[in-house]
Structure 1
């Protein structure tokens, strides 16, 4: 079992990188804080390769001191293994302006082998390695220095067993003929657009936007775009600027003057005094703007359509049971509803999802396939 090094000196980091440079893959994890910021604040990087394991302190190592590690992490010849990679990748993209590639996400891989959708790392380690990980440091302040030794070891465990987990999952996927299924999953995961701010589409993240009428939605677009820009500029969480509910209320009742917002419960006086004028300006500009294009599908299905979705869900579950996979990894009920309402540009009709279940679902919908029950099991004909 590899011993943990805590690295906070440039020479020590350079030496560590030299020792692991020849590895084919690295097990990687991060610890970060983002409760008070828009961007995650990177506090610790854990890396394991072979007999080497280090917890690297990015709060002590800045700029050129991190250059050896950055070069290794961005080396396209070295596979980077993560569990639930998306937030870690966001952290690295923000720090370095580039994404580590290629990657392997053990959470995605495990979901293709019957471990359930979004299985946790600790559960996976226990299932595959027979090791129960400690849980005592989930609320650690990773910015604190010095970090308690127990916290460092807790963080180190996040990569100590990640390598063995990766190797078992990779072999199981290879044996089952599903290893190539991961290619499109990881290609999507490493699309840079996922990690770039997009103020123009920030309205899609606002809870309650689906309940607005088109003209109200146009106002929300303008307000949410301003909030995203403000949060970015100040590096503060969106909710610290203006709460979602306040944006929705403003979209429903666009103010003409600051005084019109006086009775809005989710808009504190301090926010109104600081941002009132710009909120009025943005709301009024939204009134004049073209509403965003949204789906024209009705919110509720007819009874017949709902029954059809039930039949499609039954077939989806049967196909996934054959492959010991979670249905959620293939398609959602919302996507099946879109299918029966005429959409065809859907993820589950493409790639491995299409081959495994998507084509059968389309065949059932269009009458080329039927369902029967034989000896208590769902069959297709």
Structure 2
């Protein structure tokens, strides 16, 4: 099985793939020791054409690949596209478009909340995928014939999966559902998060504005350090250390050395020096510039019971529409609708989700409809009738 390692071969392969209306794409990468994924292999296929590209080849220019990803005349088909698109965005400074994610399409077409790629292939094509090479170190060269066969199977079977799901979406007139999801998936904001928002990833109970100020500052500093040094966030400092620093608020190396989450001697490093500068700057903010602690939402009485009813309604609607419940509404969506009704600003109250589930969920909260058990099935009936 041939691995593309030269510019001429890549240009020829891309020219052949670009003649198709769609191309299936997958990548193999490693990111255990880096912030940014290290791209190790690119797989592509279209009817009658396949390509395995070695991005680690020292003289290979990936410009033709990026041009194909930007080609508006060719649909780029991925399964679970988020990390593949992140890699393309980081290395090529572009977002593939148009995109079709078969994982999302499968949920829209009723294949369940978390169907895996090999399960999807088996259900649609009947083929059993050999996943024995899944945990390969894709940086190692040369790659074996077995590894290349495994990698290529991910995109060749994806052709049939894509055709089946695209036809199903067309038949059910749900193409616009998927398009809304792809708009989010291919939005630049999805892959360019502001370091100043990094603190929102942390699940911490904060009691004082000073603690929040330190968490915000340290989390943003850590995000920039991790990106600049290309190491995982935890290699800079761990989440537990961010929380302990916010609580203890060390202003000098002596105080920093007393923290249990800080390795012995680390307080004397250059990294620790910049961290202390960040902490002191946050603590010296004027009182009127300190961030306000997020207010805990007051949960209206009875909303917990309403949420349980909404979960039943969600399952009923999902079964009726033949779509995964998870793609209609999350647990947070349900809780917010139960507490806030139509004012809930959640995905389930926007776009196609609102048409399918959000509006009827609000009607249940208002007491305009009810649920009943009829012949072993949960049904909805209008109380006005």
8 Å Cα contact 1:106/1:169 also seen in 2: yes
In structure 2, the partner of 1:233 is 228
C-alpha distance after superposition, 1:249-294 (max 9, x if no partner): 1111111222112232221124322233332222233233522563
For the residue of structure 2 that corresponds to 1:230, the secondary structure is helix
Query: Which of 315, 324, 327 in structure 2 is aligned with 1:326?
Result: 324
| CA distance in 2 between partners of 1:308 and 1:67 (Å) | 54
8 Å Cα contact 1:112/1:325 also seen in 2: yes
- Structure 2 residue 200 is the aligned partner of structure 1 residue 204: yes
8 Å Cα contact 2:317/2:357 also seen in 1: yes
Unpaired runs of 5+ in structure 2?
A: none
For the residue of structure 2 that corresponds to 1:256, the secondary structure is coil
For the residue of structure 1 that corresponds to 2:353, the secondary structure is helix
C-alpha distance after superposition, 1:218-273 (max 9, x if no partner): 21000001101111111111000000011011111111222112232221124322
Distance apart, 1:196 and its partner CA: 1.2
Task: Report matched runs for 1:113-152 at 5 Å.
Answer: 113-152=109-148
Aligned length: 373
Distance apart, 1:62 and its partner CA: 5.1
Provide the aligned C-alpha RMSD in A. 1.8
C-alpha distance after superposition, 1:150-173 (max 9, x if no partner): 111111111010010000011112
TM-score (norm 2): 0.92
For the residue of structure 1 that corresponds to 2:135, the secondary structure is coil
Q: 1:77 to 1:374 in 2, by over 3 A?
A: same
Distance apart, 1:376 and its partner CA: 3.2
For the residue of structure 1 that corresponds to 2:251, the secondary structure is coil
Task: Report matched runs for 1:133-172 at 5 Å.
Answer: 133-172=129-168
In structure 2, the partner of 1:14 is 11
| CA distance in 2 between partners of 1:302 and 1:197 (Å) | 33
In structure 1, the partner of 2:56 is 59
8 Å Cα contact 1:37/1:236 also seen in 2: yes
Q: 1:271 to 1:116 in 2, by over 3 A?
A: farther
In structure 2, the partner of 1:369 is 369
In structure 2, the partner of 1:258 is 253
Distance apart, 1:67 and its partner CA: 2.2
- Structure 2 residue 39 is the aligned partner of structure 1 residue 42: yes
- Structure 2 residue 240 is the aligned partner of structure 1 residue 245: yes
For the residue of structure 1 that corresponds to 2:62, the secondary structure is helix
- Structure 2 residue 207 is the aligned partner of structure 1 residue 213: yes
| CA distance in 2 between partners of 1:346 and 1:214 (Å) | 28
Q: 1:293 to 1:45 in 2, by over 3 A?
A: farther
| CA distance in 1 between partners of 2:77 and 2:300 (Å) | 45
TM-score (norm 1): 0.93
Q: 1:163 to 1:266 in 2, by over 3 A?
A: same
Comparing 333-342 with 70-79, greater Cα deviation is found at 333-342
C-alpha distance after superposition, 1:166-199 (max 9, x if no partner): 0001111211222221110000100011111421
In structure 2, the partner of 1:26 is 23
In structure 2, the partner of 1:315 is 313
| CA distance in 2 between partners of 1:224 and 1:141 (Å) | 31
8 Å Cα contact 1:108/1:118 also seen in 2: no
8 Å Cα contact 2:212/2:293 also seen in 1: no
8 Å Cα contact 1:349/1:359 also seen in 2: yes
In structure 1, the partner of 2:282 is 286
| CA distance in 2 between partners of 1:163 and 1:82 (Å) | 10
In structure 1, the partner of 2:70 is 74
